[in-house]
Structure 1
Amino acid sequence: MKRKWSLYLGKFSGIAVYIHWTFLILVGWIFLMHTQMGHGWAAGLWGVAFILALFTCVVLHEFGHALTAKRYKIRTKDITIYPIGGIASLESMPEKPGQELLVALAGPAVNLIIAAVLWIYLKSTGAMPDMETLKDAKHMQDLPFAFNLLVANTALCAFNLIPAFPMDGGRVLRAILAFRMERAKATRVAAGIGQFLAMLFIFFGFFFNFWLVFIGLVIYLGAGGEAAYEATKSILAGFRVTDVLMTRFTALSPGDTLEKAVEVLLDGQEQDFLVIANEQVQGVLTSKELIHGLSSFGKSSLISNIMRRDFITLTPDMDLQDVYIKMTTNSCTAYPVQQDGKLLGMVDKKNINELLLVQQALQ
């Protein structure tokens, strides 16, 4: 799937790699920072080369997660590089604690392996700087390129093992706790520890380094989001698609205009529609795609021009937890439900949210 505002770099093992345009701002800033330190354009190019080498290690880190998850039949949609790091878009994390532990540790392990290889290289070539050299060095350029990369990979490994979501260490902690307690409770405990650490980061950040405040906020929000996500999955446990099946809905035709779809949208509470022809589902139209289609093609355009054709078909006995996970990792929020080739109805995110509200009220 093409990512907006991102440059496609290629694909490895079926996983597409993108770089977000904001990463170019970081590269430009690194170049200017080094040149303004009085070392000229050569120092600027050194800084750019180093940041590119470092983010290559970040990509390898994310592939560590992705390829380990692949062993457990968990697909990774893509890997995207941002100025703050990389994100591997796994469809889900393994439910079994042992598997989640391995997937979470795989990324930091890659950085540790890279650091070990660089250490062996520096030792074998006699390029490893001694303590005097380290003390006398005033800038990064005064030390071997490989040594700086070794230190950076070691720091990446340590940073990612902080026991707080969304760091790898948060998932490691959750996996360890899940060996002795339910996953939902393990998530709550891990999230609580993460948020406590986040508050410490924020507190000390005001006195020592403001970057700690930013890191603390990211950890606090990430821990809260992970806890809420796991709590939602826990509530949906035991429910099936048939429990939220909508049998009364408005079906549209591929030959209908966007104007007709807008009339239906404004006339009721429905926001997602099935597009049906000859008693077969041809596509799905969401309100977001409808609005985008209106601005791009006008109200006279046909629904067939903008409807989604890559929709997922559900069966009534499917686990609602699995459907919820699909909805959180896929931009499509409505799915047709069929059995033996016959359309029974549809499920959308709004209906699942209503079930969640009911269950939360009952609890």
Structure 2
Amino acid sequence: MRWAWKIGVVRGIEIDIHFTFLLLVAWVAVGAYATRGSAFDVLSSVLFLIPLFAIIVLHELGHALTAQRFGIQTRNITLYPIGGVARLERMPDDPRQELLVALAGPAVNVVLAALLYVILLLTGGVQSWTDIHWLSGNLLLNLFWINVTLAAFNLLPAFPMDGGRVLRALLAARMGADQATQIAAAVGKSMAFLFGLLGFFGHNPFLLLIALFVWMGAAQEASLVHVKSVLSSVPVSHLMMSEFHTVSPADPLRIAVHHLLAGYHLDFPVVSSGSVVGILTRHNLVDGLSRFGEEIPVEKVMNRDFLTVDASDMAEVAIARLQEQGQRSAVVESNRQLVGLLSLENIGEFLLIRGALDQRKQRTKAVFPLL
């Protein structure tokens, strides 16, 4: 089921709106009606969301278009009730490029705020720059302060805000990316703790929500970068399944069913005359059984568009290719010979084992610090 609807495309970047956005529309409408009891105020409040989220889209496009300059594509931009998310394929490895990508979003808000400031000065329509009324006030003044607020908030040095990535990029120019991320994540968690205290003692649930959001974002970013650091030095040959079953194009699906139920693995390379010609995924198998039955040949339902990686490739590169092509498994070859099968399950199990061993090493160092 698709949880977002496409509302446009800019420079090849799809703009989506998540279904939960409707909850924000309903919340704004109910709040406006409860406050003033006027249908006009309800309509004005809902319509105000249009320029607000147009600004958010421009902010995310700042990130996405800057990333495009460095050869990094953006899968889509999705609008949620709490803001927008640009799903970049990856962040740049070069700290200078990451710095520019991170600053591009707030820079858009700064430019918009400057333009609105000039327009407001030229028109002379501002009596007081701090006298803000969201429904009945000056629309341009409201938009000016929204841009100022978005720029300032996003530059806070805490993941997942842009300021956290700016801090990480500045630190990464002097140290490793993993260490820089751990420091930036620690700063982010400290800010989240501060937000939590202010929200708790100030009876502000919004600050408590921000605190939770920042804490989770910092922890997730630190975990992702640590995993990337680990996998950047591990070859695919250390992760792949070297014991696996293959099927031939002429085999009936019941052969693959037998292997699947025996618990070997979920996807099966399809081999003909010593060469891999396809891959039969569990999805292919189940779909084929539903449509044709278990006697249909494998070649009728197998996936011919499959991913092949070399056993000497680094795991980080292989995972990136899996994500780019939307695959969950890949055929592993060495000297053009099938030697293994790599799946997301393999990678998860490797990280689980590696994490357990790392924890043991840390406990050993704590007990025997001089060793």
Matched AA of 2:138? P
CA distance in 1, matches of 2:248, 2:215: 46
Question: Are residues 124 and 176 of structure 1, via their aligned partners in 2, closer, same or farther at CA, if it must alter by over 3 Å?
Answer: same
How far is 1:30 from its partner? 1.4
Matched AA of 2:329? A
CA distance in 1, matches of 2:18, 2:54: 14
2:311–2:334 Cα contact (<8 Å) kept: yes
Gap regions ≥5 residues in structure 2: 362-371
1:124 aligned to 122, 125, 129, which one?
122
Asked if 1:281 is matched to 2:274, the reply is: no
CA distance in 1, matches of 2:286, 2:15: 26
The structure with the largest alpha-carbon Rg is 2
How far is 1:147 from its partner? 1.2
Deviations 1:138-188 (A, max 9, x none): x41231111111111111111111111111111111111111111100011
Asked if 1:158 is matched to 2:152, the reply is: yes
Q: What secondary structure does 2:309 align onto? A: coil
CA distance in 2, matches of 1:206, 1:297: 56
Deviations 1:118-147 (A, max 9, x none): 11222222223425xx54x6x412311111
Matched AA of 1:185? Q
Matched AA of 2:59? H
How far is 1:239 from its partner? 2.4
Q: Which residue pairs with 1:333 in the alignment? A: 328
CA distance in 2, matches of 1:156, 1:257: 59
Q: Which residue pairs with 1:54 in the alignment? A: 52
CA distance in 2, matches of 1:255, 1:35: 66
Over aligned residues, Cα RMSD in angstroms? 2.9
How far is 1:282 from its partner? 2.7
The aligned runs of 1:171-182 (5 Å cut-off) are 171-182=165-176
Q: What secondary structure does 1:347 align onto? A: strand
Matched AA of 2:245? T
Q: What secondary structure does 2:8 align onto? A: strand
Asked if 1:65 is matched to 2:59, the reply is: no
Asked if 1:184 is matched to 2:181, the reply is: no
Q: Which residue pairs with 2:365 in the alignment? A: none
1:31–1:44 Cα contact (<8 Å) kept: yes
Q: Which residue pairs with 1:216 in the alignment? A: 211
Question: Are residues 240 and 147 of structure 1, via their aligned partners in 2, closer, same or farther at CA, if it must alter by over 3 Å?
Answer: same
Q: Which residue pairs with 1:18 in the alignment? A: 16
CA distance in 2, matches of 1:148, 1:274: 59
CA distance in 2, matches of 1:15, 1:167: 21
Q: Which residue pairs with 1:230 in the alignment? A: 225
1:195 aligned to 180, 189, 192, which one?
189
Matched AA of 1:232? V
Q: Which residue pairs with 2:5 in the alignment? A: 7
CA distance in 2, matches of 1:68, 1:173: 18
CA distance in 2, matches of 1:81, 1:301: 46
1:198–1:216 Cα contact (<8 Å) kept: yes
Q: What secondary structure does 1:80 align onto? A: strand
More displaced, 26-35 or 220-229?
26-35
Q: What secondary structure does 1:115 align onto? A: helix
How far is 1:352 from its partner? 2.6
Question: Are residues 308 and 198 of structure 1, via their aligned partners in 2, closer, same or farther at CA, if it must alter by over 3 Å?
Answer: farther
Q: What secondary structure does 1:87 align onto? A: strand
CA distance in 1, matches of 2:232, 2:213: 29
CA distance in 2, matches of 1:104, 1:47: 31
More displaced, 96-105 or 343-352?
343-352
The aligned runs of 1:239-258 (5 Å cut-off) are 239-252=234-247
2:72 aligned to 57, 71, 74, which one?
74
1:284–1:334 Cα contact (<8 Å) kept: no
CA distance in 2, matches of 1:222, 1:236: 21
Deviations 1:9-40 (A, max 9, x none): 12221211111111112112212222332252
Tell me the TM-score normalised to structure 1 length.
0.86
CA distance in 2, matches of 1:95, 1:294: 42
Percent identical among aligned pairs is 39
Question: Are residues 36 and 359 of structure 1, via their aligned partners in 2, closer, same or farther at CA, if it must alter by over 3 Å?
Answer: closer
CA distance in 1, matches of 2:177, 2:22: 39
1:174–1:186 Cα contact (<8 Å) kept: yes
Q: Which residue pairs with 2:261 in the alignment? A: 266
CA distance in 1, matches of 2:237, 2:120: 62
Q: What secondary structure does 2:16 align onto? A: strand
CA distance in 1, matches of 2:13, 2:300: 28
CA distance in 2, matches of 1:200, 1:210: 14
Question: Are residues 238 and 204 of structure 1, via their aligned partners in 2, closer, same or farther at CA, if it must alter by over 3 Å?
Answer: same
CA distance in 2, matches of 1:231, 1:95: 14
Gap regions ≥5 residues in structure 1: none
Question: Are residues 277 and 108 of structure 1, via their aligned partners in 2, closer, same or farther at CA, if it must alter by over 3 Å?
Answer: farther
1:97–1:178 Cα contact (<8 Å) kept: yes
